[in-house]
Structure 1
């Protein structure tokens, strides 16, 4: 597949790039500063672009099969998450590409019916603004005409081992037998690219955890 990814240099985005390249996909990585991209690969193209500018989105996504977003907040206000959602929806709608797979946040997952993790007392207070803006972005995608999937990590995600062994779910925050909710960025990338290749959660949340 010909894939274009926004946010390819972060902890999660870089691992999604690695996973997609390992499966022989053609990957176009979009970044404001291509000099920050340190890897090279025969199937990787690095292009300057801005996920917050719909016109730039139109320019860089043409002729691709799917658009991936791993936009994060490093050095930016959390509002960049919702701003990118608006821009991607507008840009993709203009160019006629429907498939969009987005790195979401665990805060939008339910801990009990009708109660999202971000609204629970167990949610990390320091991350609440980020959780709320992920919910805002999720609601924007839900009202769009795109074939979107909002892929949410576990409550804790960090660099780790690529095991290929994890739970996959939809609406509910996943935990293990100890009540822990965690995933490595490497295994999250596996689940993310699986959904890109074989869509099963179009117009839905998807989550992955041990």
Structure 2
């Protein structure tokens, strides 16, 4: 499978790249700073999402595009929703699917009540969570033929190897028997690649946790 990954120099994007290569997929990366890319045996493209340049030519030939986009480092959180719309538009009319590395903040703790709105949601992650919620709304309201899947991780995603079987949910926030919502970055990346290969959840948001 030909997989194009945006954000391959980031923590999550880098792990998705690693897992894709372990599965012998053909991987193309699109990064802003190529000096930060550590992965080998990939096709490298340089692109700045803050520019007005056309990204569509860099997506040609991909079976799946996986986007791991965040605005926390530079404080440009508006880039998240803008990129969601940009990719949906660029891929419309093609057979390429789009998988989006989403956030947990938009998961619902009760009907219509999101995790990010809770009083104890960490303040340092709130702007990022709200931006991902805006991106989810873009996916749900944009008139496009692009097949997409928005993949929310657990509330806690942490460094670590695979711990076994993960569970897939929908919009509702869920926990394990110990009341925890967690997943390792490795298993989150594995879940992303499983979805890329199986296309089991088209045009919807799913959540992944133990």
Aligned residue runs from structure 1 range 19-38, under 5 A = 19-38=19-38
How far is 1:108 from its partner?
1.2
Indicate conservation of the 8 Å contact 2:70/2:128, yes or no. no
How far is 1:54 from its partner?
6.3
Aligned residue runs from structure 1 range 91-170, under 5 A = 91-93=90-92, 96-144=94-142, 145=144, 146-170=146-170
Indicate conservation of the 8 Å contact 1:159/1:186, yes or no. yes
2:191 alignment partner in structure 1: 191
Per-residue displacement from partner, 1:129-158 (whole Å, max 9, x unpaired)? 111111111010112322110000110112
Of residues 119-128 and 79-88 in structure 1, the stretch that sits farther from structure 2 once superposed is: 119-128
3-state SS of 1:106 partner: coil
How far is 1:180 from its partner?
1.2
Please, what is the CA RMSD of the aligned residues? 1.7
Q: TM-score scaled by structure 2? A: 0.91
3-state SS of 1:108 partner: coil
**Whole-angstrom CA distance in 1 between matches of 2:38 and 2:127:** 31
**Whole-angstrom CA distance in 1 between matches of 2:49 and 2:89:** 11
Q: TM-score scaled by structure 1? A: 0.91
2:46 to 44, 48, 62: 48
Gaps of 5+ in 2: none
How far is 1:196 from its partner?
0.6
**Cα pair distance change 1:98/1:141, threshold 3 Å:** farther
How far is 1:49 from its partner?
1.7
How far is 1:174 from its partner?
2.2
How far is 1:197 from its partner?
0.5
Gaps of 5+ in 1: none
**Whole-angstrom CA distance in 2 between matches of 1:96 and 1:167:** 30
Indicate conservation of the 8 Å contact 1:53/1:87, yes or no. no
How far is 1:109 from its partner?
0.9
**Whole-angstrom CA distance in 2 between matches of 1:178 and 1:166:** 15
**Cα pair distance change 1:139/1:98, threshold 3 Å:** farther
